[in-house]
Structure 1
């Protein structure tokens, strides 16, 4: 199984273009308090199985965590559950910040 991924610069371009995507921060509550990507929704990783029915089918879902490892596994899980429109943000919020992109308060 191949997990779909997106890099920070591609995500930034898509957000700047106003694309209708779902951006999910799957980090812990404590991590989220340190800052989030603009327009991100918080959904702690352990809640993903409980919220499967809420995932939209008609738009891309970008998941991110701190480094991209947890969100990679979450995307693999979603793919196994038949959610084919989930993408992992490669490098997570660390890579996003390393590129100098905006991080906002939750």
Structure 2
């Protein structure tokens, strides 16, 4: 199995500032997302990832996000197993995110 890439919050902020083409997927639950999400993030609760995976493009770059980085690591590993090559897990999750939030 291929290793999941890790992206730091600083690297993600830089990518957003540079309008890099990446897709952020927030796998937290609804009540967690209500406390704020990273701008441009798409919300897919972890439990829904298996049925939503065929709506995602395996050729695109994804950053998986949760509260602390554990659930998003599970989601990242799942996408890797499904053949996604460019998946990153946000290191430390939203606990380490210092950037802007959208509600």
TM-score (norm 1): 0.90
| Superposition misfits of 4+ residues, deviation over 4 angstroms | none
Is 1:72 matched up with 2:73? yes
In the alignment of these two chains, the number of paired residues is 102
- 1:1-106 to 2 correspondences below 5 Å: 1=1, 2-97=3-98, 101-105=99-103
Could you tell me how far 1:59 is from its partner in structure 2?
Answer: 2.2
What residue ranges of structure 1 are gaps of 5+ in the alignment?
none
Query: What is the alpha-carbon distance in structure 1 between the residues aligned to residue 29 and residue 85 of structure 2?
Result: 24
Could you tell me how far 1:7 is from its partner in structure 2?
Answer: 0.4
Please report the RMSD computed on the Cα atoms of aligned residues, expressed in angstroms: 1.0
Query: What is the alpha-carbon distance in structure 2 between the residues aligned to residue 52 and residue 74 of structure 1?
Result: 10
What residue ranges of structure 2 are gaps of 5+ in the alignment?
none
TM-score (norm 2): 0.93
Query: What is the alpha-carbon distance in structure 2 between the residues aligned to residue 21 and residue 66 of structure 1?
Result: 20
